[in-house]
Amino acid sequence: TSRWKVCETGKGVRGQRLRGGVIKMAIADSPAWNKYQEQEQEPEHVSRKAISDSLAWKQLQQHMSEIKKTHLRELMKDEQRCKSMIKEVDGIVVDYSRQRATLETVEKLLSLAEEAKLSEKINAMWSGKHINATEDRAVLHVALRAPRDAEIMCDGKNVVPEVWGTLDKIKDFSERVRSGKWIGATGKVLTDVVAIGIGGSFLGPLFVHNALETEPACEELAKGRSLRFLSNVDPVDASIALKGLDPETTLVVVVSKTFTTAETMLNARTCRAWITSKLGVDAVSKHMVAVSTNLKLVEEFGIDPKNAFAFWDWVGGRYSVTSAVGVLPLSLQYGFDKVEEFLKGTWSMDEHFRNTPLKSNIPVLLGLLSVWNVTFLGCPARAILPYSQALQKLAPHIQQVSMESNGKGVAIDGSPLPFEAGEIEFGEPGTNGQHSFYQLIHQGRVVPCDFIGAVKSQKSVYMVGEKVSNHDELMSNFFAQADALANGKSSEDLKAEGVPASLVPHKVFTGNRPSLSILLPNVDAFTVGQLLSLYENRIAVQGFIWNVNSFDQWGVELGKSLASRVRSQLNAARTKEAAVEGFNYSTTFLLQHYLK
Ligand code: F6P
């Protein structure tokens, strides 16, 4: 049933009315399809009270049938509604009037927030309670960007001085490297940095680096320097990361919260060999530094603990870009002061999140609307569409933040969720995406879209003879796409335009497809920080409402442990000690084929 609910808005899926009024049967009407549907399992018995048992939830379900009768085209005519759905925070304009929601929907979502004890959960996070229950940890990435004089307590201790202890150490170290006071083993200045890390120890720093790389002030600050990332264990990635670099002028930063991640440690050993084969073993102390919570393993690896930058177990990997994980490589590239602007941007949005009443709190409202889209309207995916090339890595980063956080099947108390949580995130910068997957978004499945644009471009190109600047051209698409999705185009309009009847169904746009518009003043260190915090906090809100633990990631473990079993078998088979055994037929066959 739920499958068909998802399809409901994409009218015409089940049966196509052909010319002459003949109904063509769809594959979904076939006996084989019905049999498949019958086989679907009922969810496991839910013993504990879930948020979906609450009155607020039930009222939203009832309200859903009302909303399904309305079309965004009509909702957009209500100017009062639209006006109250456009908010501005510290220069960022957020317009959620193109969500399939009325003011009543928002009221009902706020009642759900109350029922889910959202304010209490936000307070628990900020006050250092161990809300990551399965790992018995606090969740305090917000403390990483707090001003020096702030007080954020964790286990009876203010953590802000420690945070600033590391920030001061990064400032000092990065200034010494950038100024040439810290030199390599052969006396050369270190101009190139390779940051090794994966997942949260890579995606956030990559996103911010890409966003700043083309910003004029940052370009100036990074002159003569380069920052590269090495994440994949695929040897191709190492060859790309090291291509054209000389160990004599390269600093390698090994970034790993645990310092045990297989891919990162193998890449770290690869880079260590690359350095020592040319410069000797002693060069490691000048050419390799680390960022980790596990300083013991850093030392065992051979990196001087003096050259290690700490963070804490209350920082989740995917929330760690504002720790040394991101701050160190970015400071080496752009200087600490620039990175501090980024931290200030995140803090400005954090403060808004912490202090603003729920009804005008942007991360809260957007989080609630995402829950509405996913769980009530049945849209499991979200497209993140920055109309800014500089934000090209926003979607991959948010993919991890969101999907590793909320892709869960049980509530925080371990009871199975009686509804789907989590959101499938994907995206590409506009306008590239328009020539790729927008077809599906406009006429296929309903995918709520986040459009992100900037008033001012990092670059201005305005050629003589062109009617608009390149940035205006880009932004014309930003404005147009949201209305195309909302309004669509009817068969009546098409007929009036003289479109041949046989083509009309193919050219109809049903519209009624929700989107969100986020308009930044520009893309710089501060606004990138604001945007990051907006997403981080919004995703936390979604998890708080679904009542999942957004801060653990047990789902990544099984694949890792199976890989380690395969690894030892591969090793044994290669050294002819043992045959491949203990796997199912398929894996055994594939492994044997691979080994052959
Ligand atoms: O993929 C699982 C994960 O644990 C992520 O949560 C984390 O960001 C990544 O691996 C890297 O972990 P580490 O920083 O410990 O190397």
202-224 pLDDT tens trace: 999 999 999 999 999 999 999 99
Rounded mean pLDDT of 95-123? Answer: 98
CA distance 588 to 253: 38
Question: pLDDT at position 3, please?
Answer: 40
Q: How confident is the model at residue 464 (pLDDT cuts 50, 70, 90)?
A: confident
142-155 pLDDT tens trace: 999 999 999 999 99
CA distance 371 to 423: 9
CA 507-513-518 angle, to 5 degrees, is 125
Question: pLDDT at position 35, please?
Answer: 63
Q: How confident is the model at residue 261 (pLDDT cuts 50, 70, 90)?
A: very high
H or E segment and range at residue 220: helix 216-221
Percent of the chain clearing pLDDT 70 (strictly above): 93
Q: Which of 313-322, 559-568, 572-581 has the highest mean pLDDT?
A: 313-322
Rounded mean pLDDT of 250-275? Answer: 97
Of residues 8, 66, 560, 581, which has the active-site annotation? Answer: 560
* 79-95 core/surface letters (b: 16 or more CB in 10 A; e: else): eebeeebebebeebebb
The one-character DSSP state at 416 is: B
pLDDT surpassing 70 at residue 303: yes
Q: How confident is the model at residue 461 (pLDDT cuts 50, 70, 90)?
A: confident
- Of residues 17 and 332, more confidently modeled: 332
Query: How far from 205 is each of 188, 208, 289, 319, 320, CA to CA, in Å?
Result: 26, 5, 16, 11, 9
Complex-level ipTM: 0.98
Question: pLDDT at position 39, please?
Answer: 53
Question: pLDDT at position 48, please?
Answer: 63
Collapsed DSSP state (helix, strand, coil) of residue 174: helix
The alpha carbon dihedral of 438, 441, 443, 448 has a sign of negative
Pocket residues: Cβ below 6 A from ligand 1 = 198-201, 256-258, 261, 264, 317-318, 404, 553, 556
CA distance 582 to 455: 59
Question: pLDDT at position 25, please?
Answer: 65
Examine the residue annotation and report whether 404 is marked as an active-site residue of this protein.
yes
- Mean pLDDT of the residues in the chain: 93
Q: How confident is the model at residue 31 (pLDDT cuts 50, 70, 90)?
A: confident
The one-character DSSP state at 587 is: H
Query: How far from 133 is each of 63, 125, 139, 548, CA to CA, in Å?
Result: 34, 12, 10, 10
Question: pLDDT at position 27, please?
Answer: 73
Question: pLDDT at position 226, please?
Answer: 98
163-183 pLDDT tens trace: 999 999 999 999 999 999 999
H or E segment and range at residue 168: helix 160-179
Yes or no: say if 184 and 359 are a contact pair by the CB < 8 Å rule: no
400-442 pLDDT tens trace: 999 999 999 999 999 999 999 999 999 999 999 999 999 999 9
CA distance 207 to 532: 10
Collapsed DSSP state (helix, strand, coil) of residue 382: strand
CA 322-327-332 angle, to 5 degrees, is 165
Question: pLDDT at position 466, please?
Answer: 83
Rounded mean pLDDT of 461-465? Answer: 78
The pTM of the whole model exceeds 0.90? yes
Rounded mean pLDDT of 101-123? Answer: 98
Yes or no: say if 343 and 168 are a contact pair by the CB < 8 Å rule: no
Q: Which amino acid is at 323?
A: S
Query: How far from 195 is each of 25, 104, 410, 522, 528, CA to CA, in Å?
Result: 56, 48, 35, 27, 20
Q: How confident is the model at residue 16 (pLDDT cuts 50, 70, 90)?
A: very low
230-242 pLDDT tens trace: 999 999 999 999 9
Examine the residue annotation and report whether 435 is marked as an active-site residue of this protein.
yes
516-538 pLDDT tens trace: 999 999 999 999 999 999 999 99
Residue of 141, 196, 198 best suited for mutating to test ligand 1, as the one with most atoms within 8 Å of CB: 198
Q: Which atom of ligand 1 is nearest to the CA of 553?
A: 6
Residue of 556, 557, 560, 561 best suited for mutating to test ligand 1, as the one with most atoms within 8 Å of CB: 556
Closest-CA residue to 260 (of 305, 294, 237): 294
Question: pLDDT at position 7, please?
Answer: 39
Yes or no: say if 173 and 363 are a contact pair by the CB < 8 Å rule: no
Rounded mean pLDDT of 342-355? Answer: 98
Q: How confident is the model at residue 36 (pLDDT cuts 50, 70, 90)?
A: low
Question: pLDDT at position 38, please?
Answer: 57
Beta pairing class for 92-95 and 153-154: unpaired
Of residues 340, 404, 423, 428, which has the active-site annotation? Answer: 404
Question: pLDDT at position 14, please?
Answer: 44
Examine the residue annotation and report whether 596 is marked as an active-site residue of this protein.
no
Q: Kindly give the interhelix angle for 203-213 and 525-546, rounded to the nearest 10 degrees.
A: 150
